[in-house]
Chain A
Amino acid sequence: MTVNLRLLLNKLFTTLALLSVLLIVAALIGILAPILWRGGSAVVFKDTLEFRRLQLEQFGRGDPQEIEREVHQAAEVRQRAYDLLDRFSAGLDTKDLQTKVRQVHTQVVEQFAGGDMDAQQRRTKTLSRELRDELLEALDTDDAAQAEQHLQNVLSHKDDPLLRQTAAQGFAVIAEQYHSVIKRVDLKRRAEYATALGEVREELCALLGPRLGDPQPALIEKQYGATRWDAAQQHLDRLLYAESWVEQGQGVANKKVRIPRDEQFAGTDLAALFPLLREHSSEMLLPQWTCYWQYFIDDNFSGHYLGGCGPEILGTLLITVLSIVFALPLGVVAAAHLVECAADSLFTRILRTCINTLAGVPSIVFGLFGLAFFVIYVQPRLGLPPGSSILAGALTLALLVLPVIIRASEEAIRAVPRAYREASLSLGASRFRCFVGVTLPAALPGILTGLILSMSRAAGETAPILFTAGIAMGKIPQSLAQPTRTLSYGSYDMAVGDKMAALAPHNQFGMVMTLVAVVLILNIVAIVLRGRLSKRLRGL
């Protein structure tokens, strides 16, 4: 091979190596960046007045006076929307008026109650009943002309001497009120309007929260409007556009069309609501950029709809650390035995095969084993309450990562130069003290590598803790015998079925990002530690 060819091949090899490293880095960034970016939106986002109110009332964060001021400021603008709504629904919903009509008649009857009624009083009562029926008919009918007729009938009796000084004057008031309404509202479309109005009302409540002065709903998530500006935009969109299905013909799927609600309510009072919302929504909600770092500390409300993932982080850290506490000493001692004491016998070879096989067992099998052994068999015998517990989960995870630790430790211990061992023994150390004082510290970087790998695995594993320690919702654990929420299991649960969680996708992203971040941080800490140890061993 000529020198030039060899040089060329060298350069080619270097380029390929560089490219592969770049590829790995690109893959890493390509996978991590979207997770961190989307998840970041759970922490850094544009919040609304409702969010700030939530933080103040539920967590006591924020300046009460400032929030009070903002609430008043927004209330002014919101009131305009509510007024429009009220006016329109008054025209639509006649039940109130019907009740009032009946009340008036009852009052009239009561006025004459007690004792005998004379002929005039009886005639008054009959007239009152007639007027009541007329009015009820007017309120009920869809036909504007008929309603007009009924109302005119009622109004014609307004100055009737029979009805003077009775409560029946109330009929006239109601009749006039309703008369002005039917002029503005198309009665035939009342049913249609009623449904659409219901939708609008619901969305408005979801957007702005319950009205000031209305009774507070019991569920926390209903007590506040849209807490995030991006969620608010979605509610706004549903407010401004109605969706309906249009037939495309036989055999063809219906097509979904969006109708602007301006059109839907065209000609009515309510039509003005929508331009108002479109232009002034930011005044109603007062959006602001915020950094909700307490996301990592707070508990969540109503199934991850609101709040943070603090308990999940705690659960993940607890289980991971506990599993390492069990696995590390056991693994290092096992590796020490394999290197220092074990002769090359059949037993040792079987042992090694077992350890290697254990490394390949699927994690769900570990989970089922943990359930069968730790939860069902061991826990009652230890006097612990039955059911999932952090302890069982940690033990299961410890078994999962044990082979990794044993393998890495064994390599590390074997790699310690014989010179150290010889020097130590020749100075009069027993084999135990030689191992503990010289070999183990020198093998520490390699052992830490195993630790890093196993910590990452333990933090992210879902299947083993599915049966042994994980719950989707529940209290923060008070002891190790209780189950806990974790980031991995929580992510799975939210993705699979949690209805509330589907309404708050940022929480899902946030949880996954937190899991990645927790693992990254654990790894970085361990890597830095290992780097320092390595340096010290090399004498720098």
Chain B
Amino acid sequence: MLTLQDQPRQSEAKKAIDLNEQAAASEQDPHAVTARPSPDATPVRPIIRAEKFSFFYGPKAGVRDVTMDILPQSVTAIIGPSGCGKSTFLRSINRMNDLIPHTRAHGTLAVNGVDVYDKRVNLVNLRQQVGMVFQKPNPFPKSIYDNVAYGPRLQGVRRSELGDLVEQCLRGSALWDEVKDSLHKSAMALSGGQQQRLCIARTLATQPKVLLMDEPCSALDPISTAKIEELMVSLKDTYTIVIVTHNMQQAARTSDRTAFFCLGELIEYGATKAIFTTPSKRQTEDYVTGRFG
């Protein structure tokens, strides 16, 4: 079984793997790909790489021939009108689309150099490394503590270290101060914004490399949205974040790079400032200025 990186099952404290270490490791990896230079940064190996990736729901194509690189420790936003394949692409990265019957994928979609659609990939490991936050907050009907501890428990983290990990993640998602006295209470009793932050904390608990966020703020009020956007900026240093959003202002505010999808195809991909101020494609300009979508 191919794993993205071999996680020891023991209780050693998990640290984020240094990019240099990872780079050294993938020198020997036959699937390693060379980084493509990006226009405004020093050459950095992409963490997610799509090459002519297509995904089909039955006969219909959700996304077609997408080729893009997502760089580590950055926020990449995917924007576009409804039904353009943003969520499809996002969910393909951690293979959540497998839950839908009668689908198939073509092309390559590699995370850390490993094609996720390779038959030998360990899905459990992939999903631990690539976490996801959904549109509608979906905490488990358990206590706050049990929600955050769910992932680590699956990984076999010892009970004695669970408490610290839970606190660390809740702090990381700016929820600790609000719930530190009621960790045993049910997560369903929290407000929408708190639940979404709890879901983020829960995803952080498995110590992933990548955070996929599928319109995380669309169901929330502006204040919660602002808090989560702050969160994203603070998390950027440690994690790679890919966010799908309908809200262009949010994309403009928070992301480093933006990809514009339309009708299943990647129209334009580049630095956020460039996309929003000087888009090179006509469609991009039309969308970004609000002429359609």
* Residues of chain A having any CB pair with chain B under 8 Å: 417-430, 433, 437-438, 441-442, 536-540
Q: Mark B76-105, 1 if CB is under 8 A from A, else 0.
A: 000000000000000000101001000000
- Report the nearest A residue to B185, measured CB to CB: A539
- Quick check: B138 and A437 within 8 Å, CB to CB? no
* Given A419-B138, A442-B141, A539-B141, A426 contacting B127 (CB threshold 8 A): yes
- Quick check: B189 and A427 within 8 Å, CB to CB? no
- Quick check: A423 and B134 within 8 Å, CB to CB? yes
| B111-168 residues at the A interface, CB under 8 angstroms | 123-125, 127-128, 131-132, 134, 136, 138-142, 150-151, 154-155
- Quick check: B124 and A428 within 8 Å, CB to CB? yes
In the complex, which residues of chain B have a beta carbon less than 8 angstroms from the beta carbon of A428? 124-125, 127-128, 151, 154-155, 206
In the complex, which residues of chain B have a beta carbon less than 8 angstroms from the beta carbon of A536? 141, 186
A432 CB to nearest chain B CB (Å): 11
- Quick check: A419 and B96 within 8 Å, CB to CB? no
B90 CB to nearest chain A CB (Å): 11
* Given A427-B150, A428-B206, A422 contacting B186 (CB threshold 8 A): no
A417 CB to nearest chain B CB (Å): 7
- Quick check: B155 and A422 within 8 Å, CB to CB? no
Instruction: Report, nearest first, the 9 A-B pairs whose CB atoms are least far apart.
Output: A539-B188, A428-B128, A419-B138, A539-B186, A426-B132, A537-B141, A427-B151, A428-B127, A539-B189
Contact among B128, B131, B134, B150 for A422, CB-based, below 8 A: B134
Give CA–CA (A425, B124) in the complex, Å.
Answer: 8
Give CA–CA (A538, B185) in the complex, Å.
Answer: 12
Q: Which of A426, A437, A438 has the most CB of B within 10 A?
A: A426
Contact among B96, B131, B140 for A438, CB-based, below 8 A: B140
Q: Which of B96, B124, B141, B187 has the most CB of A within 10 A?
A: B141
Give CA–CA (A417, B186) in the complex, Å.
Answer: 17
In the complex, which residues of chain B have a beta carbon less than 8 angstroms from the beta carbon of A427? 127-128, 131, 150-151, 154, 202-203, 206
Give CA–CA (A396, B23) in the complex, Å.
Answer: 64
| B219-259 residues at the A interface, CB under 8 angstroms | none
- Quick check: A423 and B141 within 8 Å, CB to CB? no
- Quick check: A540 and B189 within 8 Å, CB to CB? yes
In the complex, which residues of chain B have a beta carbon less than 8 angstroms from the beta carbon of A539? 141, 186-189
Q: Which of B132, B150, B202, B206 has the most CB of A within 10 A?
A: B150
* Given A430-B124, A539-B189, A540-B189, A425 contacting B96 (CB threshold 8 A): yes
B110 CB within 8 Å of chain A:
no
- Quick check: B94 and A426 within 8 Å, CB to CB? yes
In the complex, which residues of chain A have a beta carbon less than 8 angstroms from the beta carbon of B128? 427-428
In the complex, which residues of chain B have a beta carbon less than 8 angstroms from the beta carbon of A442? 141
- For the complex with contacts A417-B138, A419-B136, A427-B127, 18 further pairs of A-B residues with Cβ separation under 8 Å are A418-B99, A419-B138, A422-B134, A423-B140, A426-B96, A426-B132, A427-B131, A427-B151, A427-B154, A427-B202, A428-B206, A430-B123, A430-B124, A438-B140, A442-B141, A538-B141, A539-B141, A539-B189
| B154-199 residues at the A interface, CB under 8 angstroms | 154-155, 186-189, 199
Give CA–CA (A438, B142) in the complex, Å.
Answer: 9
- Quick check: B124 and A424 within 8 Å, CB to CB? no
- Report the nearest A residue to B129, measured CB to CB: A428
In the complex, which residues of chain A have a beta carbon less than 8 angstroms from the beta carbon of B123? 430
Interface range for B:
20 to 34
- Quick check: A420 and B140 within 8 Å, CB to CB? yes
In the complex, which residues of chain B have a beta carbon less than 8 angstroms from the beta carbon of A433? 154
B197 CB to nearest chain A CB (Å): 14
Give CA–CA (A419, B125) in the complex, Å.
Answer: 20
- Quick check: B131 and A426 within 8 Å, CB to CB? yes
- Quick check: A423 and B124 within 8 Å, CB to CB? no
Give CA–CA (A438, B140) in the complex, Å.
Answer: 7
In the complex, which residues of chain A have a beta carbon less than 8 angstroms from the beta carbon of B202? 423, 427
In the complex, which residues of chain A have a beta carbon less than 8 angstroms from the beta carbon of B189? 539-540
- Quick check: A540 and B186 within 8 Å, CB to CB? yes
Give CA–CA (A428, B138) in the complex, Å.
Answer: 15
Contact among B150, B188, B203 for A437, CB-based, below 8 A: B150
Q: Mark B250-272, 1 if CB is under 8 A from A, else 0.
A: 00000000000000000000000
In the complex, which residues of chain B have a beta carbon less than 8 angstroms from the beta carbon of A537? 141, 188
- Report the nearest A residue to B151, measured CB to CB: A427
Give CA–CA (A421, B150) in the complex, Å.
Answer: 13
Give CA–CA (A423, B134) in the complex, Å.
Answer: 8
In the complex, which residues of chain A have a beta carbon less than 8 angstroms from the beta carbon of B99? 418, 421-422, 425
- Quick check: B150 and A424 within 8 Å, CB to CB? yes
- Quick check: B131 and A429 within 8 Å, CB to CB? no
B7 CB to nearest chain A CB (Å): 10
Give CA–CA (A427, B138) in the complex, Å.
Answer: 12
- Quick check: B138 and A420 within 8 Å, CB to CB? yes
Give CA–CA (A538, B96) in the complex, Å.
Answer: 26
- Report the nearest B residue to A423, measured CB to CB: B138
- Report the nearest A residue to B139, measured CB to CB: A423
- Report the nearest A residue to B135, measured CB to CB: A419
- Quick check: B132 and A429 within 8 Å, CB to CB? no
Q: Mark B263-288, 1 if CB is under 8 A from A, else 0.
A: 00000000000000000000000000
In the complex, which residues of chain B have a beta carbon less than 8 angstroms from the beta carbon of A421? 99
In the complex, which residues of chain B have a beta carbon less than 8 angstroms from the beta carbon of A441? 141-142
* Given A422-B96, A540-B186, A429 contacting B124 (CB threshold 8 A): yes
In the complex, which residues of chain B have a beta carbon less than 8 angstroms from the beta carbon of A538? 141, 188
Give CA–CA (A433, B151) in the complex, Å.
Answer: 11
- Report the nearest B residue to A417, measured CB to CB: B138
In the complex, which residues of chain A have a beta carbon less than 8 angstroms from the beta carbon of B125? 428
Give CA–CA (A423, B139) in the complex, Å.
Answer: 8
A200 CB to nearest chain B CB (Å): 75
In the complex, which residues of chain A have a beta carbon less than 8 angstroms from the beta carbon of B199? 423
Give CA–CA (A539, B189) in the complex, Å.
Answer: 5
Give CA–CA (A420, B134) in the complex, Å.
Answer: 11
Give CA–CA (A538, B124) in the complex, Å.
Answer: 28
A441 CB to nearest chain B CB (Å): 8
Give CA–CA (A429, B154) in the complex, Å.
Answer: 7
In the complex, which residues of chain B have a beta carbon less than 8 angstroms from the beta carbon of A430? 123-124
A530 CB to nearest chain B CB (Å): 14
